[in-house]
Amino acid sequence: MTSPSATHKHHPYQNEPTWSRSEKAIARKAFDAALGRELHEVIQEAKKMASQIQQSSDLGDLELYLTQRRKEIDRKYDFRGSRLPDVLGRLLYENRLREEELRGLREDKLKPIRSCAKFLAEEAA
């Protein structure tokens, strides 16, 4: 038995806009830049924590911090097309991404990204 998403005649995300090659490149560049900035923050914090290690329990704290941050980052940074508007919206909300970095995306891509960022801001307020 095959699921509906496995058939050739049915696309599981029929209402999703199609990303052009250039839009995917713009999104990838912005995504990678945001990821790089976040990883840089993790590296700086890990270096700070490592420089303050005095006893073995401090080493455990560093390990816990790195594990938690890796899991958070792995969950957050998902480049699949179906998740991309939400991922970019969250990065925009968190100020890890600037809207200028998305210049070149069509409005049908920008609208759900902005909408997600706005929703997250309202939820946090």
Dump pLDDT digits (tens) for 103-119. Answer: 999 999 999 999 999 99
What pLDDT is attached to residue 111?
97
Q: List, in order, residues 6 or more apart from 113 with CB less than 8 Å away.
A: 85, 88, 89, 92, 102, 105
Question: What is residue 13's three-state secondary structure?
Answer: coil
- Residue 68 maps to a domain: yes
What pLDDT is attached to residue 9?
42
Please determine, for residue 121, whether its predicted confidence score (pLDDT) is greater than 90: yes
- Residue 83 maps to a domain: yes
* Summary count for the chain: helices (H), strands (E): 4, 0
Please determine, for residue 98, whether its predicted confidence score (pLDDT) is greater than 50: yes
Domain of residue 59: give its range. 21-124
- Residue 55 maps to a domain: yes
Angle at 59 between CA 58 and CA 61, to 5 degrees: 65
- Residue 98 maps to a domain: yes
- Residue 10 maps to a domain: no
Measured CA to CA, the distance from residue 70 to residue 35 in angstroms comes to: 12
Please determine, for residue 38, whether its predicted confidence score (pLDDT) is greater than 50: yes
- Residue 1 maps to a domain: no
- Residue 76 maps to a domain: yes
Total structural domains within the chain = 1
